[in-house]
């Protein structure tokens, strides 16, 4: 039976001689078995513990029966344990082991120390460890050429960082989505056109770079997946995105968002919900206006250069209004407002089709109330220094929002900067 883990050997006699061990954990393979030449029938031959490392693949053997002074298992759930031997006077400190495998290993170790009930346990003859058994799991991988991309081999299971650039990938490999420990994924400079709706088992992603691909849309379902709670850095620069889905505003853990060099004309209305966002770059797009919720952000650096922000002089001191023809809300409007305001959960099967479609067209007033029709659009200039410490590009841009009532319109006329607005939901 073998166990791959980190091992540090500590000699207990060194402190008594005024010496201090300077060892450090090494990747090792621990094995329990019998010496070569024993019958191996479970009753004959002593059982040994063998410790193999990259420097000593043949291993060092320690007899088990009557030679184990104590086993410390307090932190076995964390993959840690300490084996205290009588001869030689050493402690074998185990760490970074799989907790389940470690428990099984210690169970067999206990039987080996007792020297009984081993007939039901298959113990093979101790053999030198292979290179794969004593090498540390690969946590970082960089592929910069198509010829280096693994076709038949699997990606190492312990990968935490994967970078695949310039390999002409047209989609995200399903083998990559199966990497449980992946935290940073860089697939920039490929030819990826579509993204999956689900990150698969890669639920620990903190950094996702998809710059310089051929993406035309960001799947809403991907924004609502487990990534909404883990992803902190999203790079979508250099693609063909014409809009960002409103669901991206649910990714409230984002600290960095790069969408430069796309074809964006505006941002989602609830963009201000990204309260943790600190670095935002959207240069070289086609944006003419920012959502009103942009005023809620507080960032370290913003780059909006190369966009088409324009605000006529006559609009600089007054809002631009576009009212619908209806003056009184319909029953459909009242129902939809109540569902949104009370946050009533619903699915497409719960409501009539026309009501569900109407709900998908919700607008949020600056006073935080939902509105569908009638509503009014307003556009005012905004000093970007109010939301960013460092600015690249324009220092002001028009912001556009919606008003649900004449009361909100009168408040806006009284103060175009709208300090009276409530926090948007």
Would you write out the chain's pLDDT as a tens digit for each of its 425 residues? Answer: 789 899 998 888 887 777 776 678 888 999 988 876 544 444 456 788 999 988 888 889 998 888 899 999 999 999 999 999 999 899 999 998 989 999 999 988 888 887 666 666 677 788 888 887 888 778 899 999 999 999 888 888 889 999 999 999 999 999 999 999 999 999 999 999 999 999 988 889 999 999 999 999 999 999 989 999 999 999 999 999 999 998 999 999 999 999 999 999 989 988 988 999 999 999 999 999 999 889 889 999 999 999 988 764 434 333 444 444 445 667 888 888 888 888 888 877 888 888 888 887 777 777 777 877 666 777 888 899 999 999 999 999 998 888 777 777 777 777 665 544 444 44
CB 336 within 8 A of CB 354: no
Q: Domains of the chain, with CATH numbers?
A: 2-36+44-134 (2.30.29.180), 138-263 (3.80.10.10), 314-414 (no CATH)
- Token pair for 319: 């809002």
Identify whether the C-beta of residue 257 lies closer than 8 Å to the C-beta of residue 366. no
Smallest CA-to-CA distance from 208 within 146, 241, 278, 218 is with 218
CA angle 360, 365, 369 (to 5 degrees): 80
Token pair 């319909």 is at which residue?
A: 330
User: DSSP of 150-213, one letter per residue?
Assistant: -SSSPPPTT-SEEEE-SS--SS--TTGGG-TT--EEE--SS------SS-TT-TT--EEE--SS
**Phi, psi at residue 103, to the nearest 5°?**
-60, -45
* Per-residue pLDDT at 36: 64
Query: What is the model's pLDDT at position 223?
Result: 92
Q: Which pLDDT belongs to residue 339?
A: 87
Q: Say whether 330 sits in a helix, a strand or coil.
A: coil
What 3-state class would DSSP assign to 7? Answer: strand
Distance between CA atoms of 75 and 99, rounded to whole angstroms?
9
Alpha carbon dihedral 377, 381, 383, 387, in 10-degree steps, equals 10
Residue 350: CB atoms within 10 Å: 10
CB 28 within 8 A of CB 5: yes
């Amino acid at each position: 039976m073998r166990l791959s883990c980190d091992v540090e050997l500590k000699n207990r006699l060194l402190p008594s001689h005024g010496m201090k061990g300077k060892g450090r954990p090494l990747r090792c393979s621990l094995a329990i078995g019998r010496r070569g030449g024993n019958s191996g029938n479970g009753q004959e031959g002593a059982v040994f513990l063998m410790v193999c490392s990259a420097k000593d693949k043949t291993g060092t053997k320690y007899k088990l029966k009557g030679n184990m002074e104590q086993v410390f298992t307090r932190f076995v759930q964390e993959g840690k344990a300490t084996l205290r031997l009588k001869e030689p006077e050493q402690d074998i400190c185990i760490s970074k082991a799989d907790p389940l495998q470690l428990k099984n290993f210690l169970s067999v170790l206990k039987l080996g120390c007792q020297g009984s009930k081993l007939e039901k346990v298959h113990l093979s003859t101790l053999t030198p460890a292979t290179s794969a058994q004593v090498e540390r799991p690969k946590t970082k991988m960089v592929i910069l050429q198509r010829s280096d991309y693994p076709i038949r081999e699997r990606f190492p299971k312990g990968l935490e960082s994967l970078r695949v650039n310039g390999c002409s990938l047209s989609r995200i490999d399903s083998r990559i989505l199966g990497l449980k420990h992946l935290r940073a994924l860089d697939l920039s400079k490929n030819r990826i056109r579509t993204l999956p709706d689900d990150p698969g088992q890669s639920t620990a992603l903190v950094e996702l770079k998809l710059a310089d691909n051929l993406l035309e849309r960001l799947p809403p379902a991907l924004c609502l997946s487990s990534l909404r709670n883990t992803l902190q850095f999203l790079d979508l620069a250099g693609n063909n995105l014409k809009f960002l889905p409103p669901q991206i505003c649910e990714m409230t853990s984002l600290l960095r968002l790069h969408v430069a060099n796309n074809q964006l004309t505006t941002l989602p209305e609830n963009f201000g919900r990204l309260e943790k966002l600190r670095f935002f770059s959207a240069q070289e797009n086609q944006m003419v206006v920012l959502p009103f919720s942009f005023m809620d952000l507080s960032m370290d650096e913003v780059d909006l250069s190369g966009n088409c922000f324009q605000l006529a002089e006559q609009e600089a001191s007054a809002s631009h209004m576009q009212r619908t023809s209806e003056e009184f809300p319909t029953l459909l409007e009242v129902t939809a407002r109540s569902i949104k305001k009370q946050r009533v959960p619903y699915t497409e099967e719960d409501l009539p089709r026309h009501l569900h479609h109407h709900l998908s067209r919700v607008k949020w007033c600056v006073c935080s109330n939902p509105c569908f029709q009638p509503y009014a659009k307003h556009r005012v200039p905004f000093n970007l220094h109010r939301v960013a410490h460092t600015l690249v590009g324009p220092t002001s841009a028009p912001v556009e929002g919606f008003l649900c009532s004449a009361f909100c319109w009168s408040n806006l006329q009284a103060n175009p900067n709208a300090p009276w607005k409530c926090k948007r939901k």
